[in-house]
Structure 1
């Protein structure tokens, strides 16, 4: 392709000898686009641009919503505040632009907003604590004196009994108590004694009972009173106790199936050992989900394995946990520490070999078998996986091997023999 034609297009006005310097470059160059240059555009908007600042809309709205203090309001403030406080209020009003409050501020409309617009000059019983009173606030025309040891002990006993009566309106529980009730009662008694020692009635006394009654004001106590609880409908719906648990339909069904209570279920230890993604090919495409394999055991001879799969990760994990708890089986343990003899199990291409070991040997196995043995309550064990080490097959083979042990009683009964324990003879009565 020749470059002569583009050159002639660009320098059509020039000569072959010397190219004169053009007066205006834009007039001698052929434009590369059809869009006119910015100076050549003479478009005007169809409507004039109107700004909000020109109409003073913000100023009008800010003045109407946040007006300045009037003369009467200033006189009322001067009666309540000192001149230095009045100067601080004026400086704060001058520093804050009402337009900024209008554009950047926002009035709360949620159900949890305060039911009033407060200037923070009054004490609210819900959000604020009452001011503490000192000995200077006691009535001047009443005489007080410090208590002696016997009066102090009697006052502490009386105040502690009053506090316990508030904590237990039906009376302090007596008789046989479970550990939880005993702990709660002990904590309540300690709190009542602490509050009684800090109560001013244990330090000061008077001959006039009405004079002593003035010290019962909680504002004289060093202990802050608890905030009152809200009793409206919205607060009751949103309030949730710390020890309250959300009812799970799976857990409720599981407890009915096992015949347990929640306390027994808390003693089960679960652990997810295998997590990976799976894909199901359907006519609608590939459906991806998560697979979970979980073990469950109480550490005292119960062991279970469960699987779960779902598109939602949390749903699949819960399925595996429930399945593991439902499938728990008793694991025979020799001396509650190891297995009966040597075991071997094969699942797919995976073979697991388990060996019983003497006391103190420990769990010298791979991590998957270690978790299974710890959940079942085994302490001395050795294992080998000579073939495939697929995680799912290793767990299933170990679980089946532990559940299908041949006990010495069964072997003796099949041979028509009688099983006799001679450990007390050979070990001198020392049986682990």
Structure 2
């Protein structure tokens, strides 16, 4: 037995040289331990002189309200609002605003500095007015030739007054000034000719001014608007849209309107090219498999094939909407028990799950379940995963479920005897 270790332990306190330290514990993190890091302050230290300069700059940049400004605010705001403004001013340190605040440089910033108290006719939306904003009866009539000439002269003078607010230039004019005045006169007459107040007139001054007020252009359709013939011919109302005859027949078949079709969730799940060998050669067409559902218990699958891609897709959409069937849902969230369906070499197994489980399936079954309004479902495809067969098998499994009441009637029993749940599950 060696005596080195006992001797070392005995003379440890008397030895002048310190013992070697143990090997430090190894760290597996990429960053150094907190003790090894150089601690830096979170905020830079500011000297007293710099602090005085900051305070002076903050007071100059963001001064406090003086007595005259407070008097002006009191004319517009109530005493409680004035107290809230003062409390906000005292709680916000102007020095922090100067240090931490910065001007926006993003593309969505306002192109001008404004307190947003007034409406800018260039950048802001114009306020819309309705017929209720005009007092009195909304009566107007078509103007006769005399009234039309008088209105053109009056409106042209108003336009010229806007172009020359200080009056027409007097004295001898050069060629450029005369041409400019001639162009201004033609522009004023053109604007007056297309003004609605020239075509229509009214004994009510407010109605007459509203004819040319752009704030009444949308919400007051009862007031006339002057439109050129080209705009009338090119504009097509929503009620006059050209309707697809197949869509019209489909709406008649289902007894729906266009709003029901817009609420459907339609998605093309499979699309690929198909080649048909004929005596005329190879004819290539496009195949589409589309699903449609209202996310509330209706689901349909349709196929379409055509030489034109858009035509084939439209055929599949119409077929999917026409083939929609109800999908029974337990508590409007999952299926009635586990389901299994086989199409070709593809087998699909669907499993009902408790609330909050979600849709944990592959992407094709996920789209079908979401379109049908299912929320909790699990699925397996243990055999072939051909896309078309997976979609068809899932659709047939969801629409051909066996309900508990049907099973009970087939067995000649009551529903509670089939479910084997008595008295709310307290007795089995």
Q: TM-score, normalised by structure 2?
A: 0.50
Task: Tell me which of 329, 333, 354 is aligned to 1:333.
Answer: 329
CA shift, 1:261, in A, is 2.4
Whether 2:406 is the aligned partner of 1:410: answer yes
Whether 2:153 is the aligned partner of 1:86: answer no
Which residue of 1 is the match for residue 140 of structure 2? none
For 2:253 and 2:213, the matched residues in 1 are separated by 53
Range 302-311 or range 284-293, more displaced: 284-293
CA shift, 1:225, in A, is 5.9
For 1:414 and 1:262, the matched residues in 2 are separated by 41
Which residue of 2 is the match for residue 123 of structure 1? 190
CA gap 1:223/1:325 in 2 versus in 1, 3 angstroms: closer
Residues 202-222 of structure 1: per-residue CA shift (max 9 Å, x gap): xxxxxxxx9xx6566418986
Residue 407 of structure 2 aligns to a residue in which SS? helix
Residues 23-47 of structure 1: per-residue CA shift (max 9 Å, x gap): xxxxxxxxxxxxxxxxxxxxxxxxx
CA gap 1:282/1:215 in 2 versus in 1, 3 angstroms: closer
Whether 2:354 is the aligned partner of 1:363: answer no
For 2:347 and 2:209, the matched residues in 1 are separated by 73
Give 1:3-152 correspondences, 5 Å limit: 86-87=175-176, 119-124=186-191
Give structure 1 stretches of 5+ with no counterpart: 1-78, 92-117, 132-165, 167-209
CA contact (8 A) 1:337 1:378 kept: yes
Whether 2:308 is the aligned partner of 1:312: answer yes
Residues 338-367 of structure 1: per-residue CA shift (max 9 Å, x gap): 111111111112111111111111100011
Residue 406 of structure 2 aligns to a residue in which SS? helix
Residue 255 of structure 1 aligns to a residue in which SS? helix
Residue 389 of structure 1 aligns to a residue in which SS? coil
In terms of Rg, which structure is larger? 1
CA gap 1:327/1:292 in 2 versus in 1, 3 angstroms: same
Which residue of 2 is the match for residue 155 of structure 1? none
CA contact (8 A) 1:126 1:228 kept: no
CA gap 1:381/1:283 in 2 versus in 1, 3 angstroms: same
CA shift, 1:284, in A, is 1.7
| Aligned residues: CA RMSD | 3.6
Whether 2:230 is the aligned partner of 1:228: answer no
Which residue of 1 is the match for residue 396 of structure 2? 400
CA shift, 1:243, in A, is 6.1
CA contact (8 A) 2:196 2:226 kept: no
